[in-house]
Structure 1
Amino acid sequence: MKKIKIAITGGIGSGKSSVSDFLEKKGHSVLRADLIAKEMMAQDAEIKMRIISEFGDESFNGDILNTKFLAANVFNNEENVLKINAIVHPPVMEKINSLCTVIFKKKNIVFIETALVYEANLEDFFDFVLLVFTDQNLRIDRVLKRENLTEEQVRARMQFQIPDEEKKGDADFVLDNNSSVQELEKRIEFLLILINQLAV
């Protein structure tokens, strides 16, 4: 049996987490790069030191990552986004690789939820890329409902991501998420049939 790493990607508010949640419910292994990154930023002394060196002491409240400060001062500035990604991405991908090695002892497929596959040139790390595609206005509505952000802040984050329309041509699978949760789950079920065949 082949061992397969599949990226779940898409812009902010596209529904990556909904896809990941459903896959986990179906018994699949899902690694969430964002959660791993937050954990490592809080626990890895070298990463913490480099972030403080680059962005100042306000980046942390003691040992806790100051997400409010980072949102206001890092994620709305393209140069700063590139800087923090350069600090965080390499160790996070190394960690994900080691976790995949462990999971592959029991399973043939690992899903990795990560927003920046193409932006960070990570395509070669994965065997396949699954793009969760949602119209931009719907994505903005979803983010505004779940996070304490203004529409302007959401649009600012979007401008640092490659438009999903452009990613469609590069992705191996495109999962449309413009309708209901039930419809999304049906589409995931169908995709799983195809994906399971790839591991044979």
Structure 2
Amino acid sequence: MIVGLTGGIGSGKTTVANFFKKLGVPVYIADVEAKKLMENSPSIRVEIIQLLGEKAYVKNVPDRKYIADKVFKDTSLLEGINAIIHPRVAIHFKNWYEQQKSPYVIKEAAILFENGGYKLCDFIILVRAPLKLRIERIKKRDKISEEEIQNRIKAQWSDAKKMALSDVSIENTFLDQTKENVLRIHNHLLHRISRNW
């Protein structure tokens, strides 16, 4: 069973994913794998430079700030970079998934809905948090301006739109509560799998 885990930037997807990991569930973090592919794949490097220019890489290392500044201000560039990276991530995930032995796996992806990845999931968990808290978390984590944060938020679907396609949502404000919700969902999924529904 493939369980999609998604949510807006700063909602705390990785925190929720780590709770599942502690329960022994294999977790695939799409953004982490995408970054590795950007660093290690010569063909991706060539395509990104063609799309964004020579400054996208410095000594064969992606300049993440430059890339983010470009793509989050221009929808066509964002679509372009997603078209380069996401098909490769999908292949990488498929290979990883085929090696797993557990009843279910978690696929954590920020743009699970936006890139159509949700269609391959059997169950979807949406992670939510109040906007103010999300902005605080992103500022602390990424050291970027509020304008840059708003650009990234605008590039993603709203929680309301995601909710309509999700099976369950977790309000990730208080960690103890989040942990309890993860355990409850974990038990529910194991029950569903045991009953084949």
TM category, shorter:
over 0.9
- 1:101 lines up with 2:95 in the alignment: no
Q: Please tell me the residue identity of whatever aligns with 2:74.
A: N
Residue number in structure 1 paired with 2:110: 115
Amino acid corresponding to residue 4 of structure 2 in structure 1: A
User: TM-score if structure 2 supplies the norm length?
Assistant: 0.95
2:145 is equivalent to residue 150 of structure 1: yes
Residue of 164, 172, 180 corresponding to 1:186: 180
2: CA distance between counterparts of 1:11 and 1:62? 32
Indicate the SS of the match to 1:119.
Answer: coil
Gaps of 5+ in 1: none
Given residue 185 of structure 2, which amino acid in structure 1 is its aligned partner?
Answer: L
Matching of residues 18-167 of structure 1 within 5 Å: 18-103=15-100, 106-167=101-162
- How far the C-alpha of 1:54 sits from its partner, in A, is 0.9
Provide the C-alpha distance between the structure 2 equivalents of 1:43 and 1:76, rounded to a whole number of angstroms. 26
Equivalent of residue 172 in structure 1, options 164, 167, 171: 167
Q: Which of 163, 178, 198 does residue 192 from structure 2 map onto?
A: 198
1:41 deviates by: 0.8
Instruction: Provide structure 2 residue ranges, at least 5 long, that are not aligned to the other structure.
Output: none
Distance (whole Å) between structure 2 residues aligned to residue 74 and residue 173 of structure 1: 30
User: Deviation string for 1:55-98 (max 9, x for gaps)?
Assistant: 11111112211112112222332221111001100011111011
Q: How far, CA to CA, are the matches of 1:185 and 1:76 in structure 2? A: 35
1:43, distance to aligned residue in structure 2 (A)? 0.8
Alpha-carbon shift at residue 136 of structure 1 (Å): 1.5
Structure 2 distance, partners of 1:90, 1:50, is: 13
Deviates more, 1:92-101 or 1:132-141: 132-141
Q: What is the CA-CA distance between 1:109 and the residue it aligns to?
A: 0.7
SS at match of 2:144: coil
- In 1, the alpha carbon distance for the partners of 2:192 and 2:67 equals 40
- Name the % identity: 29
Distance 2:27 2:60 in 1: 27
Q: Which runs of 4+ in 1 moved over 3 A?
A: none
Instruction: Kindly provide the amino acid, as one letter, of the partner of residue 180 in structure 2.
Output: K
Q: Across the two proteins, how many residue pairs are aligned to each other?
A: 194
- Residue 16 of structure 1 pairs with residue 10 of structure 2: no
Shift of 1:152: 0.9
Q: CA deviation at 1:102?
A: 0.6
User: Residues 114-171 of structure 1, C-alpha deviation per residue, up to 9 Å, x if partnerless?
Assistant: 0111111222111111100112222111111211111111011110111012211210
What is the CA RMSD across the aligned residues, in angstroms? 1.1
